[in-house]
Structure 1
Amino acid sequence: YKAAAEIGELGDNTRAMRSAVVADDLLRLLVSQHGARVSVLGHTRWASVGIISEPNAHPVNSEELESTFGTPYLVAALNGDVDNHADIKVRNGLRIADPITTDAKVIPTVVARRRASGESLGEAFRNTVREFDGSVAIATASAESASTMLLALRGSGQGLCVGLAEDRFIVASEPYGLVEETLRYVRMDGEALADVNNPATRGQVVVLDGELAGTLEGCSMMAYDGTVIALDEASVTVAEVTTRDIDRGEHKHFLSKEIAEAPQSFRKTLRGKIAERDGRLVASLDESVLPTQIREKLAQHKFARIRVIGQGTAAIAGRSLAQLLRTLVDHSVQVDALPATELSGFQLDLDMSDTLVVAISQSGTTTDTNRTVDLARSRGAAILAIVNRRGSELAAKADGVLYTSDGRDVEMSVASTKAFYSQVAAGALYACAISDVLGSGSNDERHQL
């Protein structure tokens, strides 16, 4: 079931798919059978490779032009980009219909071919995803093993969480997609090395067994090279967010809701983080926001540079933080704001132990920002984050996190409103606190700010 209309009202595509599902008599017959089990793979995917069209909408299947008999039927969905998809298509001689130009198409087609050549489903999947260049999150299902779902995560730009519900697995890119069914989940790590001395172990593959749905026993994890990764209760995270955090309430659209909530979000960002000292207002940030190790390096003037990064609207908010810091900090510390892609692409140093990076992201899952944080951190940089979502990828990567609003004030719209204003407020708090620890600027300036 697919719909990919670009023009229309909010919800048109969803309504079209729901109508198709409801009208499917065969589906109704199948799911009404005693003991029937269902495996569902769905995705809302904007085409970053290929035009926005129904043939390019995810999931995509394994069908090719003039497919050979015996090739199994699979479907797959992708977050991220398979950078070398064109090379894979040529190398494997894939016969793909012209209207299908999405990079995701190589996933089910190559897995199906490997499976037809005799590889097990799990091995065919793992050997396929190992070929891919780029940062990816992948989900695949096969008709020949309907109770199995296969997942892969590599790189820092995407997320995959496996929810453990009472009698089912729920997979989503972040906890917000799980909390209606369960608070317990296993978060996959696309950057983790099963063997620190072997780069081939970076990335993770998970095989979900529907016969053991909802249990850790039904969740098998391995590194990209096949190294088994044991899961236990320590691997399970309990979500800090609930369905209340993503409720549209009385508003017809998320955008109108978020505009109306902007003043409250701004106030929540500042709440509990401003104190009075000697008759002046000061930023009061605790250990989780500005850790002792960073305070000490600031006080000892071991940071020569402060670099504020983000993408899109977050990068604009970063400019305000950088400007405030320049006003409050003397010239012994160089302060600049730039897109995350500019830092990762052109301005990384081999040794960044003298650099404090402040990364800003609404969702905490922005690919370019998270990748840049990984690169800077691996070179010794300290990381502070301004982010709106607790439990997000960026929050896990940072040394200190200043949550906008209360860290669970989700912004669903593409156009940022309340999150942007809150990021500016959070930036002002960091500017005041950092300059205070540095001993730069005046208390009067911080009080006025």
Structure 2
Amino acid sequence: MCGIVGAVSQRDITNILVKGLQRLEYRGYDSAGVCIVTDNDELERRRTVGKVKNLEKLIEAQPLSGFCGIAHTRWATHGVPSETNAHPHMCGDVALVHNGIIENYEVLRKQQLETGHQFDSDTDTEVIVHAVSDAYKKTNDLLTSVQKTVESLEGAYALGVVEKGNNDHLIAVRKGSPLVIGIGNNEHLIASDVFALLGEAEHFIYLEDGDVADITHKGVTIYDAKGRQVKRKINKTKLQVNDAGIGEYDHYMQKEIFEQAAVLKQTLEGRIANGRLLSDCFGKGAEEAFRSIEEVQIVACGTSFHAGLVAKYWFESVAGLPCHIEVASEFRYRPHIVIRKTLFVTISQSGETADTLAALQASSDIGYAHTLTICNVPESSLVRESEWALMTKAGPEIGVASTKAFTTQLTALLLLVIALGKHHKIDDKKEIEIVRQLEVLPEQVAEVLRLEPDIIEFAKQFSNKHHALFLGRGEQYPVAMEGALKLKEISYIHAEAYPAGELKHGPLALVDDQMPVVAVAPNNDLLEKLKSNLQEVQARGGELFVFADTHAIFEEVKGLKIIRVSEINEIVAPIIYTVPLQLLAYHVAVIKGTDVDQPRNLAKSVTVE
């Protein structure tokens, strides 16, 4: 959620830090700050509320420069967005930035107040800098002081720490919150995300849980949680600076919606051939292990959870395999009864979602047979800690409201359905049928994108609305959930999704001429049931906006607006019908003038519980 950037170099790093923060803006934040160890070895700090551009203006008005420093974008947890709550925080001769949450900060704060400390902020972070400062006064050694401090911390955190009097020293700590070290030309950098350092470094060290890194411009020494010096692998990233460019589009979200036809080809590339699934795409030993799998457990959050809900329908109806799906934030806090031959599947765009990562870490103790993640970031924690990983290959997704990550997750999950279903209900004929539909999927998505002008006309009808209902049946119910989530995330219209058959069990009480109702209506076995549900809306004066299959028969009447989607095979229909709902949400938000790419109160990568 928050973003960290830091550097030690033999050149002025102020601009590097600010540019790094700009590249992390997509993560979501409400304030920004920077602290530099100046040429005369003093600590100088600048902090602002709002966008990084505000910090840039402040630095232009009050310049600072130096070879060593840390910077931060904050997403408020403890304390409102304000300059005093913004990072970096300082105490004595120490300054630091922090991602994560310190769960025992109240106990530490009380102890520090009793020993005479005074606090300037409402954050949990400030207890860390006071603790480091206390230890530093005794040891005059920053590494030892940080190591001693983290022993007393409970929770998840990534830290960047600098000291007064030394412009070639930076300490980095990782526990439960991602942090990478970039290796530059006679310099070293840290960041919570590789994107922040693109253009400055192409080789990275991914710190592991409990690692403390002692960094100068010349080198890096890493200690594990037990204080033992360790070596960590150096990785070369395949990402490029221009991978995250906005191009000709008005917003990243718009760009990412329109990239879907292309990225779905990337998801499928090297995984299907000659009408069949290439089973070895899941990694060494996976195909053999899949033969013994008797059940699937999916854990995810937000949009990824909706992808898992669709997959549950596929696993059970197509593959004949029992499947359970649970929100990651709930999974860890209840007992589980596990069938021994169960595959534990996590889904995450970033691979750093804190609740999902914690669920994966708990899974081995619970007794799951194997673990696999569906993820978009090859270097992420989920990928590194899972037995197998199937990468979605969606490329960088900058818009906070996930779009191409969702459709590529669904596509990857359908590949997994084939791989497991081959040992249960999917015969050769069925496999060939599904693969054929996957092969034409990118062009079908491109065709749906050509409906944009009609969808804009739909969107105009939402500009003065405050609430909306989304309806679907079967595997289209999770699609309706995702459509409602997109609308509420970026337009701030309150939107909820229901199985269409549930209307008469409560939601129908909300329906009037001010409550638009959106429905997805593929031409499947549930169409007539859905049409009956929609008639209930019409009878109450509700206004219907329906995305319907070309062959779905609807009588054109007042209060019913239809956009026709070409005939789609039922197996891939959830992927296709997602796209017009994304476009609807996007254009409603544009019309309302909201911040499409960085909606209020939200973050792209949710790295705290």
Alignment of 1:315-330 (within 5 A): 315-330=305-320
Q: Deviations over 1:92-122 (max 9, x none)?
A: 2264446x22111111111112212345222
Distance 1:112 1:334 in 2: 54
Deviation at 1:352, TM superposition (A): 7.2
Q: Is the 8 A contact 1:269 1:422 kept in 2?
A: yes
Quick check: 1:113 aligned with 2:142? no
- Residue 72 of structure 2 is matched in structure 1 by 43
- Residue 282 of structure 1 is matched in structure 2 by 276
Q: TM-score, with normalisation over the residues of structure 1? A: 0.80
SS at match of 2:162: strand
Alignment of 1:109-258 (within 5 A): 109-155=130-176, 158-190=177-209, 203-209=210-216, 213=217, 215=218, 218-229=219-230, 231=231, 235-258=233-256
Q: Deviations over 1:142-197 (max 9, x none)?
A: 12323211111123xx211111111211111232222311211221101xxxxxxx
Quick check: 1:4 aligned with 2:49? yes
- Residue 8 of structure 1 is matched in structure 2 by none
Q: Is the 8 A contact 1:137 1:152 kept in 2?
A: yes
Deviation at 1:429, TM superposition (A): 1.4
SS at match of 1:385: strand
Quick check: 1:397 aligned with 2:398? no
Deviation at 1:78, TM superposition (A): 1.2
Distance 2:345 2:194 in 1: 24
Distance 2:339 2:139 in 1: 48
Q: Is the 8 A contact 2:267 2:412 kept in 1?
A: yes
Quick check: 1:311 aligned with 2:301? yes
Distance 1:235 1:428, change over 3 A: closer
Quick check: 1:76 aligned with 2:93? no
Distance 1:270 1:293 in 2: 20
Distance 1:122 1:205 in 2: 8
SS at match of 2:182: strand
SS at match of 2:195: helix
- Residue 294 of structure 1 is matched in structure 2 by 286
Distance 1:47 1:368 in 2: 18
Distance 2:224 2:81 in 1: 33
SS at match of 1:132: coil
Q: Is the 8 A contact 1:328 1:442 kept in 2?
A: no
- Aligned residues: percent identity? 23
Deviation at 1:444, TM superposition (A): 4.3
- Residue 87 of structure 2 is matched in structure 1 by 58
- Residue 91 of structure 1 is matched in structure 2 by 111
- Residue 360 of structure 1 is matched in structure 2 by 347
Distance 2:228 2:390 in 1: 36
- Residue 439 of structure 1 is matched in structure 2 by 424
Q: Deviations over 1:221-242 (max 9, x none)?
A: 112332222x3xx732111222
Distance 1:227 1:292 in 2: 32
Distance 1:151 1:237 in 2: 18
Distance 1:320 1:96 in 2: 52
Distance 1:352 1:17 in 2: 53
Higher mean alpha-carbon deviation, 409-418 vs 378-387, is at 378-387
- Residue 194 of structure 1 is matched in structure 2 by none
- Residue 375 of structure 2 is matched in structure 1 by 387
Distance 2:77 2:396 in 1: 24
Distance 1:426 1:55 in 2: 45
Distance 2:259 2:284 in 1: 33
SS at match of 2:74: coil
Q: Is the 8 A contact 2:343 2:368 kept in 1?
A: no
Distance 2:194 2:61 in 1: 31
Distance 2:103 2:286 in 1: 37
Deviation at 1:327, TM superposition (A): 0.8
Distance 1:352 1:222, change over 3 A: farther
Q: Is the 8 A contact 1:307 1:358 kept in 2?
A: yes
- Residue 466 of structure 2 is matched in structure 1 by none
Deviation at 1:80, TM superposition (A): 1.4
Distance 1:415 1:136, change over 3 A: same
Alignment of 1:342-353 (within 5 A): 342-348=330-336, 353=340
Deviation at 1:337, TM superposition (A): 1.1
- Residue 198 of structure 1 is matched in structure 2 by none
Q: Deviations over 1:291-330 (max 9, x none)?
A: 353322332x3x3321111111111111111210011233
SS at match of 1:92: helix
Aligned pair count? 386
SS at match of 2:310: helix
Distance 1:400 1:441 in 2: 22
Kindly provide the amino acid, as one letter, of the partner of residue 163 in structure 1.
G
Deviation at 1:256, TM superposition (A): 2.2
- Residue 409 of structure 2 is matched in structure 1 by 423
Q: Is the 8 A contact 1:78 1:136 kept in 2?
A: yes
Distance 1:381 1:3 in 2: 49
Distance 1:15 1:354 in 2: 52
Kindly provide the amino acid, as one letter, of the partner of residue 152 in structure 1.
V
Distance 1:347 1:290 in 2: 29
**Which runs of structure 1 show a deviation greater than 6 angstroms over 4 or more consecutive aligned residues?**
none
Distance 1:207 1:390 in 2: 26
SS at match of 2:212: strand
- Residue 10 of structure 1 is matched in structure 2 by none
Kindly provide the amino acid, as one letter, of the partner of residue 267 in structure 1.
K
Q: Is the 8 A contact 1:174 1:392 kept in 2?
A: no
Q: Is the 8 A contact 1:179 1:239 kept in 2?
A: no
Kindly provide the amino acid, as one letter, of the partner of residue 234 in structure 2.
V
Distance 1:88 1:381 in 2: 40
Distance 2:211 2:89 in 1: 22
Distance 1:261 1:357, change over 3 A: same
Q: Is the 8 A contact 2:101 2:124 kept in 1?
A: yes
Kindly provide the amino acid, as one letter, of the partner of residue 203 in structure 2.
R
SS at match of 2:73: coil
- Residue 263 of structure 2 is matched in structure 1 by 265
Deviation at 1:354, TM superposition (A): 2.3
Distance 1:255 1:319 in 2: 23
Kindly provide the amino acid, as one letter, of the partner of residue 49 in structure 1.
H
SS at match of 1:416: coil
Q: Is the 8 A contact 1:348 1:376 kept in 2?
A: no
SS at match of 1:41: strand
